[in-house]
């Protein structure tokens, strides 16, 4: 299968003060990432004056290392469409990746939904991964905005715990435990003194996760139509045999209709009946990306594997839906 030629998009989230600006400054100083388009909240905050090569308009600048830097002032969809058209007309140089900084109190999920649901954008861009920065010294901030904090971590493929040099060992451990209760599948990295390994931005694979820590425990599970009392949980489903593609799509459609708002992140690699190449599946809430066959030779698990990061939704109920559909199809 041909390699996915769409431009990868990396979303960076985290509360104010978590280290996003430090990370973006490191992007500017990293030659391997010089062919990037950075979409940021405030250009002035990342200190680019000494890198400034050309100002294309009032919100887009070209830097001397080849990076494009663009300030987000409204709708991401409109901005990406505008940039794409200008690049095709030769008004802007090409770029090999897009790095999007979300605001401190933003849920990164809508960015993913934009890329999945907008057909013109989906032809040119794909969500590569989501990075969440967690300040080990700011548990109070997480408690003050628990919904946004948990959604940022739930959506992430990589979570970087920052400012560990300013935190106690107990605070670092508490931060890691909190991350694990929300998203046991994300890769976790520790950073201190602002030393963030920028190579992680280019090297994270959504499916090269660490050994998962499943967070859902036993107890009353209810049904798909009855919200479970627990908040955010994560778990993985594996399938021993290749899946019927149409039946899986029916399963996904029903799940989205019934509980789409609670599907904070779904991602996996599936083997479908009669298809040689495994297929990448990922979505957020009600919106899923097109299923893409992996390139020949790409790493993939032998079994179909589907990761769910959900809110108030039980693993057993999702399994029951699949088994019921499978039984009815026979």
What pLDDT is stored for residue 61 in this prediction?
A: 56
pLDDT digits (tens, 9 = 90+) for 34-45: 788 888 766 555
pLDDT digits (tens, 9 = 90+) for 148-174: 888 899 989 899 999 999 999 999 999
Question: Domain 232-328 classified CATH 1.10.150.20?
Answer: no
Residues of the chain with pLDDT > 90: what percent? Answer: 29
pLDDT digits (tens, 9 = 90+) for 301-314: 889 999 998 888 88
Instruction: State the Cα torsion 220-224-230-233 to the nearest 10°.
Output: 120
What pLDDT is stored for residue 67 in this prediction?
A: 65
pLDDT digits (tens, 9 = 90+) for 69-84: 776 656 788 888 888 8
Q: What integer is the mean pLDDT of 237-246? A: 94
pLDDT band at 66 (very low <50, low <70, confident <90, very high): low
Residue 8 falls in which region: left (phi positive, over 0), alpha (psi -120 to 50) or beta: beta
Contacts of 222 (CB under 8 A, 6+ apart): 228, 314, 317
**CB distance 121 to 98 below 8 Å:** no
Contacts of 139 (CB under 8 A, 6+ apart): 171, 174, 175, 178
Pairing of strands 232-239, 304-311: antiparallel
What pLDDT is stored for residue 227 in this prediction?
A: 44
Pairing of strands 97-101, 36-40: parallel
Specify the CATH number for 7-203; select among 3.40.50.300, 3.40.50.1950, 3.50.50.60, 3.20.20.60: 3.40.50.300
Between the ranges 64-78, 181-195, 233-247, where is the mean pLDDT highest?
Answer: 233-247
What pLDDT is stored for residue 3 in this prediction?
A: 65
What pLDDT is stored for residue 76 in this prediction?
A: 82
What pLDDT is stored for residue 119 in this prediction?
A: 82
What pLDDT is stored for residue 318 in this prediction?
A: 93
From 101, 99, 93, 100, select the one nearest 65 (Cα to Cα). 93
Q: What integer is the mean pLDDT of 211-237? A: 51
For residue 224, the number of C-alpha atoms closer than 13 Å in the C-beta half-sphere is 18
All structural domains of the chain with their residue ranges: 7-203, 232-328
Q: What integer is the mean pLDDT of 251-272? A: 92
């Amino acid at each position: 299968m041909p390699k996915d030629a769409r431009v990868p998009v990396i979303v960076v989230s985290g509360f104010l003060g978590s280290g996003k600006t430090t990370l973006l400054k490191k992007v500017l100083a990293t030659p391997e990432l010089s062919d990037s388009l950075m979409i940021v909240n405030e250009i002035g905050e990342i200190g680019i004056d000494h890198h400034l090569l050309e100002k294309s308009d009032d919100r887009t600048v070209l830097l001397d290392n080849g990076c494009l830097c663009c300030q987000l002032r409204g709708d991401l969809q409109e901005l990406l469409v505008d940039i794409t058209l200008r690049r095709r007309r030769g008004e802007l140089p090409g770029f090999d990746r897009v790095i999007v900084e979300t605001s401190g109190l933003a849920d990164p999920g809508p960015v993913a939904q934009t890329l999945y649901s907008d057909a013109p954008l989906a032809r040119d861009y794909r969500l590569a991964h989501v990075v969440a920065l967690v300040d080990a010294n700011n548990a109070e901030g997480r408690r003050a905005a628990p919904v946004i904090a948990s959604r940022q971590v739930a959506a992430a493929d990589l979570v970087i715990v920052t400012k560990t040099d300013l935190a106690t060992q107990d605070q670092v451990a508490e931060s890691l435990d909190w991350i694990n209760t929300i998203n046991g599948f994300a890769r976790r990295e520790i950073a201190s003194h602002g030393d963030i390994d920028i190579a992680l931005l280019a090297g994270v694979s959504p499916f090269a996760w660490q050994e998962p820590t499943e967070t859902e425990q036993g107890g009353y599970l209810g049904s798909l139509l009855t919200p479970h009392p627990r908040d955010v949980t994560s778990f993985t489903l594996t399938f021993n045999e290749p899946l019927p593609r149409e039946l899986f799509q029916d399963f996904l459609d029903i799940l989205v209709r019934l509980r789409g708002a609670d599907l904070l992140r779904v991602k996996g690699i599936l083997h479908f009946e009669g298809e040689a190449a495994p297929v990448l599946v990922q979505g957020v809430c009600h919106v899923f990306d097109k299923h893409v066959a992996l390139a020949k030779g790409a790493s993939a698990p032998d079994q179909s594997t589907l990761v769910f990061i959900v809110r108030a939704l039980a693993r057993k109920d999702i399994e029951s839906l699949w088994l019921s559909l499978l039984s009815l199809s026979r």
